């Protein structure tokens, strides 16, 4: 079973995509062909979208449209397509207007807009913090870190620290645990003063070997026994030092990041 | 006017937050105090959430709850709070079941889940591509780039390339335009073979000076006249070489990224 799906927005399309994908994930035996049409902010563009939608109708059923357009004139144009349409603003904005006893501004796409300059600056600052303090390259700014991720090479530290910086504006450093660290009976010197900021990542050895093989196919680095030994050593540091940790194997970057925030009770820096 | 808002989810909370913030942005004269409660996946956690919600009721009105929990038993517990509740799954999943003539799986939080391993690998690969090819550090992999962002220092290239990697899985390199490049009458040698992949960023000089001052307060780098001159020179390269470009000043990273995708017609690599 197959259906075309269109995420239609007058802004970035991120809300329509995020909500739409959550809903469609509930129908895992249907194969959805997704397309996002962002920045539909004029009648011409709305009619273009209608043509694209109608061209996607097929024997297996009409297209599905998830629409977050704010302007009612443009929404009405989209309604003229042959699609089955979920109208997000119609479903919820009226209810909120009632609850708040006030009219909505009906303004386009303000949620991802960044005329909130302090937030923008905080985000950029967090991204550069993550980059400057990636992979143990520098350890002298750990006093400014909200969190220091530790784990063996390719356990997910870098993507997680960048995601947390971009989405939550938190300052996340990361430090790779290597064989030198495993031979010691205490934490690496750079980490010792910041024990409360540490969070460990672990991963299944088989999965790690596959990821490492993509990067460096030959040598000990991607060898399964090597991966097993490093992971076991890292895990015993977490247990010995009482450091909270998480297995990243079956989690997305979003899940790893939000679970860490929830576990350590870290506040987001972005509004 | 002030209201507490809770984004409640059995997964990451990202869908509830994204949708909720879009809706609340329509009410810009209300001050919302937002809180996300993710991973509400047991009756105990649902009751904990109810207690948090009810504790936030105040004279100015009951709390607002945006709820994306899939499990109906847990949703019913949340309903027992004194909040005004927007129930996302109730609003839409039933409609979709009718349209698709099939029952939903009622499974938790699958949309951000990454047991889709090829997607996970593509994302990680894209993040490492962005890092390895950041700031002109390396130019020999430009043949593998989907896009090469160019612009003066701190015009937004790095955060944009990382966001595009994480969200869309595309391979984005970035190259800083410096005074050496401005003195030449043609494109920098490293960029010349890849002209079709180039996209320029520009920014208002006053804003750039503020951003640069945060990084290096002294010297020519953050000087307004210097910023003006660099931006003028970069822009004239874009015009001379017919390179598409965008002013990032009033845009969020999401907006910059999605506008670039839309402008160059680049396909996402993630499903």
DSSP string of A141-180, one letter each residue: TGGG-SEEEEESTTSSHHHHHHHHHHHH---EEEEE--HH
Domain identity same for B132 and B224: yes
CATH at residue A55: 3.40.50.2300
**pLDDT band at A109, cuts 50/70/90?**
low
Domain identity same for B121 and B80: no
Q: Tell me which of A100, A133, A151 is where a domain ends.
A: A100
Q: Is residue A197 part of a domain?
A: yes
Q: Is residue A111 part of a domain?
A: no
The whole-number pLDDT of residue B111 equals 54
Q: Tell me which of B100, B132, B159 is where a domain ends.
A: B100
Domain identity same for A254 and A129: yes
Distance, CA of B155 to CA of A214 (rounded, Å) = 33
Distance, CA of B56 to CA of B33 (rounded, Å) = 10
Domain identity same for A128 and A56: no
Q: Is residue A30 part of a domain?
A: yes
The whole-number pLDDT of residue B60 equals 84
Residue B130: which domain range?
Answer: 117-264
CA distances from A166 to A143, A154, A158, A169, B121 (A): 20, 20, 12, 6, 20
The whole-number pLDDT of residue A114 equals 45
Token pair, residue A37, equals: 């049409």
Q: Is residue A233 part of a domain?
A: yes
Task: Name every chain B residue with its beta carbon within 8 A of the beta carbon of A30.
Answer: 100, 102
Q: Is residue B271 part of a domain?
A: no
Nearest of B198, B151, B201 to residue B172 by alpha carbon: B198
The rounded mean pLDDT for chain A is: 91
Task: Name every chain B residue with its beta carbon within 8 A of the beta carbon of A88.
Answer: 19, 22
Q: Which of B15, B26, B131 sits opposite A93 (nearest CB)?
A: B26
Domain identity same for A206 and A123: yes
Domain identity same for B209 and B84: no
**pLDDT band at B110, cuts 50/70/90?**
low
Do the chains contact at B29 and A102, CB–CB below 8 Å?
Answer: yes
Q: Which of B27, B123, B163 sits opposite A96 (nearest CB)?
A: B27
What's the ipTM? Answer: 0.88
Dihedral over Cα of A249, A254, A255, A260: its sign? positive
Task: Write down the residue that tokens 């017919």 correspond to.
Answer: B242
Domain identity same for B75 and B153: no
Residue to substitute from B17, B32, B201, B252, interface A, most A β-carbons within 10 A: B252
**Cβ contact B32:B13 at 8 Å:** no
Phi/psi at B187 (nearest 5 deg)? -65, 150
Residues whose CB is less than 8 angstroms from the CB of residue A76 and which lie 6 or more positions away in sequence, other chains included: none
Instruction: Decide: helix, strand or coil at residue B30.
Output: coil
- Shortest Cα–Cα distance, A6 to chain B (Å): 14
Domain identity same for B190 and B79: no
Do the chains contact at A258 and B95, CB–CB below 8 Å?
Answer: no
Query: pLDDT tens across B223-259, in order?
Result: 999 999 999 999 999 999 999 999 999 999 999 999 9
Domain identity same for A127 and A72: no
Domain identity same for B133 and B227: yes
Structural domains in chain B (count)? 2
Minimal-distance CA residue of chain A relative to B86: A92
Task: Name every chain B residue with its beta carbon within 8 A of the beta carbon of A11.
Answer: 255
Q: Is residue A107 part of a domain?
A: no
The whole-number pLDDT of residue A1 equals 84
Do the chains contact at A255 and B112, CB–CB below 8 Å?
Answer: yes
**Cβ contact B222:B212 at 8 Å:** yes
Nearest of A51, A99, A93, A52 to residue A69 by alpha carbon: A93
Q: HSE (CB half, 13 Å, CA atoms) of B166? A: 26
pTM of the model: 0.89
CA distances from A126 to A166, A255, B1 (A): 7, 19, 31
CATH at residue A199: 3.40.50
Q: Which of A12, A27, A106 sits opposite B100 (nearest CB)?
A: A27
Domain identity same for B151 and B237: yes
Domain identity same for A131 and A259: yes
Instruction: Decide: helix, strand or coil at residue B183.
Output: helix
For residues B215-253, one letter each, b for 16 or more C-beta atoms within 10 angstroms of the residue's C-beta and e for the rest, the string is eeeeeebbeeebbeebbebbbebbeeeebebbbbbebbb
Residues whose CB is less than 8 angstroms from the CB of residue B181 and which lie 6 or more positions away in sequence, other chains included: B187, B188, B237
Q: Tell me which of B71, B100, B129 is where a domain ends.
A: B100
Dihedral over Cα of A236, A239, A241, A246: its sign? positive
The whole-number pLDDT of residue B65 equals 98
The whole-number pLDDT of residue B105 equals 81
Across the A:B interface, residue pairs with CB atoms under 8 Å apart total 206
Q: Is residue A53 part of a domain?
A: yes
Q: Is residue A106 part of a domain?
A: no
Query: pLDDT tens across B31-86, in order?
Result: 999 999 999 999 999 999 999 999 998 888 899 999 999 999 999 999 999 999 99
Q: Which of B19, B39, B214 sits opposite A262 (nearest CB)?
A: B39
Distance, CA of A68 to CA of B20 (rounded, Å) = 12
The whole-number pLDDT of residue B117 equals 60
The whole-number pLDDT of residue B121 equals 81
């Amino acid at each position: 079973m197959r259906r075309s799906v269109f995420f239609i927005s007058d802004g970035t399309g991120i809300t329509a995509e995020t909500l739409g994908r959550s809903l469609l994930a509930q129908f895992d035996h249907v194969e959805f062909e997704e397309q996002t049409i962002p920045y539909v902010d004029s009648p011409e563009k709305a009619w273009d979208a209608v043509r694209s939608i109608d061209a996607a109708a097929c024997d297996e059923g009409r297209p599905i449209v998830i629409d977050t357009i704010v302007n009612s004139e443009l929404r009405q144009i989209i309604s003229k397509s042959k699609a089955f349409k979920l109208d997000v603003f119609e479903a919820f904005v009226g209810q909120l207007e009632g609850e708040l006893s006030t009219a909505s501004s009906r303004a386009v796409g303000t949620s991802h807009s960044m005329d909130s300059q302090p937030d923008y600056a905080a985000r950029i600052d967090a991204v550069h913090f993550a980059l400057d303090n990636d992979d143990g390259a520098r350890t002298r700014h750990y006093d400014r870190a909200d969190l220091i991720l530790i784990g063996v090479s390719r356990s997910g530290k870098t993507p997680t620290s960048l995601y947390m910086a971009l989405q939550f504006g938190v300052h996340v450093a990361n430090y790779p645990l290597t064989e030198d660290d495993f031979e010691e009976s205490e934490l690496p010197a750079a980490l010792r003063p910041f024990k409360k900021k540490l969070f460990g990542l672990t991963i299944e050895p088989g999965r790690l070997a596959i990821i490492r093989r993509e990067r460096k196919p030959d040598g000990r680095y991607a060898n399964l026994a090597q991966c097993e030994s490093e992971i076991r050593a890292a895990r015993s540091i977490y247990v010995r030092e009482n450091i909270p940790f998480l297995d990243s194997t079956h989690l997305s970057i979003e899940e790893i990041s939000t679970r860490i925030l929830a576990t350590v009770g870290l506040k987001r820096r972005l509004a």
